[in-house]
Amino acid sequence: MATITFITPSGESRTVEHADGSLMEAAVQNGVEGIDADCGGVCSCATCHVHVDPEWTDRVGPPGPAEQALLELQDGANERSRLACQVKINEALGGLIVRVAPR
C-alpha cells in the first residue's frame, strides 16, 4: 500500500491514501479523471496513460516490451510514459506523483 497523487489534465490533484493493486485500479476506484481503462487492465487500450514525475522514474521502472509497443505510437508519449495498469503499487512507491496524459 502507498499514497499516490494523480494530477489530471485539467490540473486537479487527487491523492489516494492506502492505494493497492495497480496504479490504474487505484485511479479508477477513486474516479480519477482521464483514466478510462477500457480494457480493464490487460495493456490493450492505452486509456490509462500517465507520465511519471522525473524523480520517480527509476523507482517505477521502464515499460515492458508489450507496453512499450503500445506506447510507441501513443500521442503524447515520452520517456516518462507508463500505462497505469502495468505499474504495481508497492511501499517503495509511497508518495509517487503521476500526471494523467491528455487525450
Partner 1 sequence: MTDLPDPFRAHRQKSGVLVCPFQGEPIPMILGYKELRRAAKDWETFSNDAPFRVPIPSEETVRSVRQLPIETDPPDHTEYRAITEPFFKRPLLPDVIARIQELVGRMVERALERDQIEVLSEFSLPLQAKALTILLDVPESEADIWVEWGVRVFSVGDAKADGTYLERYLAQRLDAAAASPGADFFSVLTQAEFRGRKLTREEQMGFANLAFAGGRHTVIHTVSTIIDYIAGHPEALGFLRADAKRIVPAVEEFVRIASPLTHIGRVCSKGGEVLGQQVPPGGRVALCWASANHDETIFEDPDSVKLDRMPNPHIGFGSGIHSCMGAAHARLLLRTLLATLCEKVGRIEPLDVQRHIEKEATYTRITGYDRLVAHFARRA
Instruction: Mark the segment that binds partner 1 (CB under 8 A) among 3-11, 33-41, 51-59, 92-100.
Output: 33-41
53: cell is: 514525475
- Taking the least distance from each CB to partner 1, the nearer of 66 and 92 is 66
Measure the CA–CA gap between 33 and 103, rounded to whole angstroms.
11
Tell the residue number behind the cell numbers 497505469, with chain if given.
Answer: 84
Who contacts 46 (Cβ-Cβ below 8 Å, separation ≥6)? Answer: 70, 71, 74, 83
Window 39-58: residues binding partner 1 (CB under 8 A) = 39-45
User: Smallest distance, Å, CB 70 to partner 1?
Assistant: 5
Binding site for partner 1 (CB under 8 A): 38-45, 64-67, 69-70, 72-73, 86
